[in-house]
């Protein structure tokens, strides 16, 4: 595969997020090597999505940026792009993912805040995109494309999270 000449090409948020967890997972996803949809973590996420915030508009597809946000929510007079997470355990990754959504929306001239919602913990965290975040995201996207367009996958690195990964078989089976 030939690497794109510009970062004007939108990188799907799922791949951006996966890269931060495991570059090999992002490489596999980019090649449409789909994760096990019956994996416990996938099933739990699906259940949380189906059973929480039932009155809110959920699963908003942003076609121009190939993103599926969990929902749009309102707090006071402000609207937020919101992501629903099962726990705050991987909060750093959730914030990275949400900031990438905000970045993609900003590229379309829509400046909006984000909110992480963790129903099990009854927690909501507001997230804003800063100029520094934009610079970090643009640098990271270049790094990600360099990995994605390699012929060989990145080396597998055993992490604690591997045993819970829906792509486990691609690396360790």
Tell me the residue range of the domain where 66 lies.
13-172
pLDDT of residue 171: 73
Per-residue HEC secondary structure of 7-71 comes to CCCCCCHHHHHHHHHCHHHHHHHHCCCCCCCCCHHHHHHHHHHHHCCCCCCEEEEEHHHCEEEEE
- Look at residue 106 and tell me if it is in a domain: yes
Q: Which residues of 113-125 are buried (b: 16+ CB within 10 A; e: fewer)?
A: bbbbbbeeeeeeb
Q: For the chain, how far is it from start to end, CA to CA, in angstroms? A: 26
pLDDT digits (tens, 9 = 90+) for 16-50: 988 998 898 889 889 887 765 554 555 655 555 56
Q: Averaging pLDDT over each range in 77-91, 121-135, 159-173, which range is the top one?
A: 121-135
- Look at residue 113 and tell me if it is in a domain: yes
Instruction: Report the candidate in 112, 96, 102 with the shortest Cα–Cα distance to residue 144.
Output: 96
Query: How many domains are there within the chain?
Result: 1
CA 164, 70, 29, 105 torsion: positive or negative? Answer: negative
- What is the enclosing helix (H) or strand (E) of 137? helix 131-148
pTM: 0.78
Q: Which residue has the higher pLDDT, 95 or 172?
A: 95
Q: Distance between CA 74 and CA 56 in Å, rounded? A: 9
- Look at residue 1 and tell me if it is in a domain: no
6: pLDDT strictly greater than 50: no
pLDDT digits (tens, 9 = 90+) for 47-82: 555 666 555 556 666 666 667 788 888 888 888 999
- Look at residue 161 and tell me if it is in a domain: yes
Give the CATH number, domain containing residue 67: 3.90.320.10
- Look at residue 38 and tell me if it is in a domain: yes
In the three-class reduction of DSSP (H, G, I as helix; E, B as strand; rest coil), residue 73 is classed as strand
Q: Which two tokens stand for residue 106?
A: 């900003």
- Look at residue 50 and tell me if it is in a domain: yes
Cβ contact 118:86 at 8 Å: yes
- Look at residue 96 and tell me if it is in a domain: yes
Q: Distance between CA 155 and CA 143 in Å, rounded? A: 16
- Look at residue 58 and tell me if it is in a domain: yes
CB atoms within 10 A of CB 7: 15
């Amino acid at each position: 595969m030939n690497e794109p000449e510009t970062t004007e090409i939108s990188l799907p948020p799922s791949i951006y997020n996966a890269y931060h967890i495991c570059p090999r997972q992002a490489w596999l996803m980019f090649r449409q090597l789909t994760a096990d949809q019956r994996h416990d973590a996938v099933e739990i996420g699906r259940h949380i999505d189906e059973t929480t915030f039932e009155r809110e508009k959920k699963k908003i597809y942003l076609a121009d940026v190939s993103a599926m946000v969990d929902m749009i929510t309102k707090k006071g007079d402000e609207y937020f792009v919101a992501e629903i997470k099962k726990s705050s355990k991987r909060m750093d990754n959730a914030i990275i993912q949400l900031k990438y959504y905000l970045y993609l929306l900003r590229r379309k001239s829509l400046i909006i805040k984000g909110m992480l919602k963790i129903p099990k913990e009854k927690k909501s965290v507001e997230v804003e995109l800063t100029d520094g975040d934009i610079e970090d995201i643009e640098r990271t996207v270049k790094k990600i494309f360099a990995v994605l367009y390699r012929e060989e996958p990145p080396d597998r690195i055993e992490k604690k999270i591997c045993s819970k990964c829906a792509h486990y078989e691609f690396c360790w089976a």
